[in-house]
């Protein structure tokens, strides 16, 4: 499987800016050397190498048209292989709109029909396509090497899992990850009078163990400025960056903005991406919260070494329908036993509004819950937390 993925994914700490001024010999070596080993080369890898040359030297000559076209062909082929791998793992979300092959293309996908159309199949796919474009632009403005420098001044990481475990132990209830969330595609605006710092401080006083901060702007009216503002305001609760991650660059970026944890969605990311991004998270100190929705996604994630925190989303992100019995279903039998053996903390997500909802998922086996709508809509979020749990959980 690794032989059909981009070799860029094998190189931690790389950036992917524009294509043009990588030295010719480096491009040729990358293409020929990788192909001799049976590895498909992505233009992203070339762009990564270019970033290193840009950072270390001003001497670089442009690629010829032939060489640049060869890179574009390789990038397109890698995209096709990656979509195939994702499909074998039950992932239906396409990372970007499908495109036909480059002009005069000859290769393994020569006779494949591109007949799926270039409109998103559902809201999650629409979000992911937009996010892919958005992140590409952000990476051009702030390449990875500049983020690495910014990491030197990032605030210290807090123990996200430790905070959840401590809250669960002290209250006898699931540790609360309270979500700072203004809007959602399914519910619209949840809170008109939205002050992220004020809400975060109220959550903390109300007994939240950790906070989740929406950073997507277009669909959730959030932003990294909210994450940064909450961290700079002195809120002590560890912070989850609630983002749609499609690129490891976002992990570094979240860390520079003060995140202590970050969301990885199994319905979007193939196994190799989750493994790679988990390693990047640990390298920079972030806790990955890997989110699943169905049995196949749970089985995939349980088969990945080093996973310590799993979220079970009761909302189907393709249809946005909610069913809290999903948590119980995914924690029954052998899966629940594996989770206990590995001492994985499970987070119940979505559809939790009442003390009976909390009791239901706790009995199913969760040690934490992530809740947004039912508390952020309250005039007093502290009271919202008390109403959710049926008692005051502030310590």
Q: Name the residues annotated as catalytic.
A: 179, 181, 242, 291, 313, 349-350
3-state helix, strand, coil split of the chain in percent (to 5) is 45, 10, 40
d(CA 192, CA 367): 31
Q: CA dihedral defined by 156, 160, 162, 165, rounded to 10 degrees?
A: 160
Selection from 378, 360, 358 nearest residue 369 by Cα = 358
Rounded Cα distance, 256 and 232, in Å? 12
Residue 87's contacts (CB-CB under 8 Å, 6 or more residues apart) are none
Largest CA distance in the chain: 69
For Cα atoms 246, 228, 313, give the angle at the middle one, nearest 5 degrees.
Answer: 45
Structural contact between residues 341 and 359, judged by C-beta atoms closer than 8 angstroms: no
Contact 123, 315 (CB under 8 A): no
Q: Please give the Cα distance from 162 to 209 (Å, whole number).
A: 9
The token pair at 385 is: 């937390």
């Amino acid at each position: 499987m690794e032989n059909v993925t981009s070799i860029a994914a094998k190189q931690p700490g790389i950036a992917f800016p524009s294509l043009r001024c990588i030295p010719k010999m480096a491009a040729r070596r990358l293409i020929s050397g990788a192909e001799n080993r049976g590895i498909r080369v992505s233009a992203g890898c070339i762009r990564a190498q270019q970033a290193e040359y840009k950072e270390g030297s001003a001497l670089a000559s442009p690629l010829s048209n032939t060489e640049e076209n060869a890179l574009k062909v390789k990038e397109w082929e890698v995209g096709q292989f990656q979509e195939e791998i994702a499909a074998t793992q039950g992932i239906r979300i396409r990372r970007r709109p499908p495109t036909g092959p480059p002009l005069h293309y000859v290769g393994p996908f020569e006779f494949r029909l591109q007949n799926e159309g270039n409109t998103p199949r559902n809201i999650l796919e629409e979000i992911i396509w937009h996010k892919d474009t958005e992140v590409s632009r952000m990476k051009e403005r702030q390449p990875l090497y500049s983020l690495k420098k910014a990491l030197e001044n990032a605030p210290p990481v807090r123990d996200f899992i430790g905070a959840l475990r401590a809250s669960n132990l002290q209250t006898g209830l699931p540790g609360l990850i309270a979500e700072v969330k203004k809007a959602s595609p399914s519910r619209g605006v949840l809170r008109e009078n939205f002050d992220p710092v004020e809400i975060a401080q109220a959550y903390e006083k109300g007994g939240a163990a950790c906070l989740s901060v929406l950073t997507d702007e277009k669909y959730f009216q959030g932003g990294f400025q909210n994450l940064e503002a909450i961290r700079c305001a002195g809120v002590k609760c560890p912070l989850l960056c609630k983002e749609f991650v499609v690129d490891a660059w976002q992990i570094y970026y979240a860390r520079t903005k003060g995140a202590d944890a970050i969301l990885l969605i199994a319905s979007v990311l193939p196994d190799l991406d989750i493994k790679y991004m988990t390693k990047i998270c640990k390298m920079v100190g972030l806790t990955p919260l890997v989110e699943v929705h169905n049995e196949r996604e749970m089985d995939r994630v349980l088969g990945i070494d080093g996973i310590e925190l799993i979220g079970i989303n009761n909302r189907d992100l393709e249809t946005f329908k909610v069913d809290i019995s999903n948590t119980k279903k995914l924690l029954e039998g052998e899966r629940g036993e594996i989770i206990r053996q590995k001492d994985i903390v499970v987070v119940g997500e979505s559809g939790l509004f009442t003390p009976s909802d909390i009791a239901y998922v706790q009995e199913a086996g969760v040690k934490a819950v992530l809740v947004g709508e039912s508390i952020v809509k309250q005039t007093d979020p502290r009271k919202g937390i008390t109403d959710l749990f049926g008692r005051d959980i502030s310590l």
